[in-house]
Structure 1
Amino acid sequence: MDLANRVKTITPSSTLAITAKAKDLKSQGYDVIGLGAGEPDFNTPTYIMNAAKKSMDDGMTKYTPAGGVPELKQAIMSKLKTDNDLTYTTDQIIVSTGAKHALYTLFQVLLNTGDEVIVPSPYWVSYPEQVKLAGGKPVYVNALEQSDFKVTPEELEEAITSKTKAVIINSPSNPTGMMYNKEELERLGEICLKHGILIVSDEIYEKLIYTHDAHVSIGALSHPLKEQTVVINGLSKSHAMTGWRIGYAAGPSYIIKAMSTLASHSTSNPTSIAQYAALAAYKTDEDASKMMKKAFAERLDVLYDLIVNIPGITCVKPKGAFYLFPNVEEAIAMNGFEHTDEWVTALLEEEKVALVPGSGFGSPGNVRLSYAASIESLKEAAKRIKRFVVNHQS
């Protein structure tokens, strides 16, 4: 029996693929340094885990409303008001099974066959695949390294057609770590308002910024922009809760209502226990991201200095998230490889360092390195990468 056409166009996640290969080598006894995974290497804070245990003891193990328990929605509303100067009501919030599922559900209720979504490149691997699964068409706008991987208003407007339904803005970005400032968002917002385009603002890395630049949520810039924006966020990165799968979307009530209806027929509801864990995460005064942010900032400085001193590799220093996205085109040519995927595979096989090829992010001349690892591991990884590049010089 043949598979549905909609799944035949999906490209497997390059991040999960390289992580799986690294784990396989590790299981064979090799000393593998994995810099491919997109998650903090810290455990979930104890107070959050204790809240989950208490919720089980209290019997909070039943079905919840499809869009999330009211208490968590209230906590999310408070968070958005305090951190982002955004005011929402409960009917404008949906809790989802991770931020990824919030995006998936949004595109499912938003897109008809042939609708276009502008996807700035480099992009997170799942954006275009989710658009395609909803019957839409991803339209890529290449953001140049010279512009710090940021799309200009002119480039955005040039990509807009009569079929454009939405644009994705991911700041701070996966995989580049870049972020838009207020003025840049205002100019992009003007274009979106002019053409009536929905803004999908993915802000999952907002708590992990290592400069004095402030995170700005585009919906907070004006009421018209808020009415034309869906904010996507969650606790995976900010509270080291990747496995708990709690994310959320905030936006116009008619969109959120449609997302909740769809969720009621797919997931029923996010896991009840994880929701109460998330509630504890947002209701405490403890800043779970503070310790991680300090550690990531130190690792960034160490790894960046080591990577840019490797022959044939250049890199724009990121401001947020926990990735480097260096350009390795010169190193690949110098080493005699045809493309990045081949270079990354050889690096893993020979030096046991796992990176993610940029092809999965729409930027085949780059690789993504996660610095969600110990400084010792990062130093050793850089040492091995440099050895690999030098040994393969032709």
Structure 2
Amino acid sequence: MNKIAYLQDWAVRYFHQTKFDLATSGLPWQGTALPARFDAARWLRASAHETNLALRERLAEHCGAELACVFPTLGATNGIFLLALALGRSGPVLVESPAYEPLWRSFEAFGAELRSFRRIRQERYSLGASLEQAHRLSRGCACVVVTNPHNPSGQYDSPGVIRALAEAVAPAWLVVDEVYTPFIPGAVSAWGVAQNVCIVSSLTKAYGFDFARCGWVAAPPLLAEQLERAQYYTPGLFPSAVSAVALTALEDLGAHYRVVSAHVAGRADRVDQALAESSRLAWLRPAGELIIASVELLGVEDDQRFARVFMAAHDCALAPGSFFGEPGTIRLGFGALPEQFDPALPLLLDFAEHYRE
């Protein structure tokens, strides 16, 4: 089993040790963000079976799916792992590129043959521009795995595009990681757009519940039968404490999002203006209110060296794009709190102007 280099060699090693932060890809936990109506005593009286069933029922309602089709997972990444456990030996797996490394490492760990199709920067990473490529490469595949919105670029494809992709890769399952969808005003889930679509999501990125690690998978009945068996190889009954937090948050996710995202309001506009004035950095503005984006380092090939030198000089975290299969870029994350983010952006702009390989 290979290590997940982005997590082990970079994120875990650096991100929580720096003073400033241009890497955070989710909204941070804020102690006041737990809903006031959270009733700890109520959940202490409930059994693991009761909380697990209650969470599955609530997630099924949230997704618009049947109870038997929804499975709580320890974050979205564990949802991908659960799918890999169920499908990893069923045939080749086609994964988008650039890609978040755990998407494909999970399937690799179970011995799957990996294939990749390219999301094209010049086409704003649109899946619609890659339909023919995905159709050709998906022949014989057990599943095709994508993110929407795309990680690392932050671009978003409509349900119509996802439907077209599902049709192009059928009969393979189309797995859509939707963990960033709440950042897109008016966006809807891909659940139900085609019979071969399953979705993965969580409360960790958009709602500040990284500490709770509550995610889920929704899958069509035939695949759900395999996931029902696979779940007992991972958490089994979902942790009661996580279920309790998730159930409370799910009562009004919209209100909760407004609370925990207030500090990033208007931030994309400020980043857009700053990068427009740079001769060394270029980006495609992410969709909606998203807090991740791919930033091109003009004239730079070794993005990891760029990030290391910048971190050493300014005590600020960066995520090199080469870990996502896109050398010469960084995945800019701007979800951090103001005291970690606001001073850091000018430092990056100045550093990029003077940096030479």
TM-score (norm 2): 0.90
Query: Number of matched residues?
Result: 354
Counterpart among 107, 111, 135 of residue 131 in structure 1: 107
Partner secondary structure for residue 257 of structure 2: helix
Counterpart among 26, 30, 53 of residue 39 in structure 1: 26
Cross-structure match for 1:70: 53
Summarize the alignment of residues 175-190 of structure 1 with structure 2, pairs less than 5 Å apart.
175-190=152-167
Cross-structure match for 1:204: 179
Summarize the alignment of residues 78-157 of structure 1 with structure 2, pairs less than 5 Å apart.
78-81=61-64, 88-112=65-89, 115-151=91-127, 152-157=130-135
Partner secondary structure for residue 363 of structure 1: coil
1:356 pairs with 2:319: yes
> Residues 132 and 237 from structure 1, CA distance in 2 versus in 1: closer, same or farther, beyond 3 angstroms?
same
Counterpart among 203, 212, 215 of residue 247 in structure 1: 215
Contact 1:299–1:375 under 8 Å retained in 2: no
The aligned amino acid for 2:67 is: T
Name which one, 1 or 2, has greater alpha-carbon Rg. 1
Residue ranges of structure 1 left out of the alignment (5+ in a row): 1-6, 27-31, 82-87, 333-337
Counting aligned pairs with the same residue, the percent is: 16
1:127-146 deviation per Cα after TM superposition (whole angstroms, max 9, x unaligned): 11111012113322121111
The aligned amino acid for 1:35 is: L
Cross-structure match for 1:3: none
1:365 pairs with 2:333: no
1:271 pairs with 2:239: yes
Q: Distance in 2 between matches of 1:155 and 1:286?
A: 37
Contact 2:92–2:143 under 8 Å retained in 1: yes
Counterpart among 56, 59, 64 of residue 45 in structure 2: 59
Cross-structure match for 1:324: 293
Partner secondary structure for residue 191 of structure 2: helix
1:219 pairs with 2:187: no
Q: Distance in 2 between matches of 1:375 and 1:303?
A: 13
Q: Distance in 2 between matches of 1:318 and 1:15?
A: 27
Partner secondary structure for residue 267 of structure 2: helix
Residue ranges of structure 2 left out of the alignment (5+ in a row): none
Cross-structure match for 2:5: 12
1:184-203 deviation per Cα after TM superposition (whole angstroms, max 9, x unaligned): 2232122123xx11010111
TM-score (norm 1): 0.82
> Residues 189 and 263 from structure 1, CA distance in 2 versus in 1: closer, same or farther, beyond 3 angstroms?
closer
The aligned amino acid for 2:40 is: K
Task: Please identify, of 251-260 and 91-100, the stretch whose mean Cα deviation from structure 2 is larger.
Answer: 251-260
> Residues 348 and 288 from structure 1, CA distance in 2 versus in 1: closer, same or farther, beyond 3 angstroms?
same
The aligned amino acid for 2:102 is: S
1:326-384 deviation per Cα after TM superposition (whole angstroms, max 9, x unaligned): 111x242xxxxx51111111111112221100111111121011111244543421211
Contact 2:117–2:137 under 8 Å retained in 1: yes
Partner secondary structure for residue 314 of structure 1: strand
Q: Distance in 1 between matches of 2:278 and 2:337?
A: 20
Cross-structure match for 1:160: 138
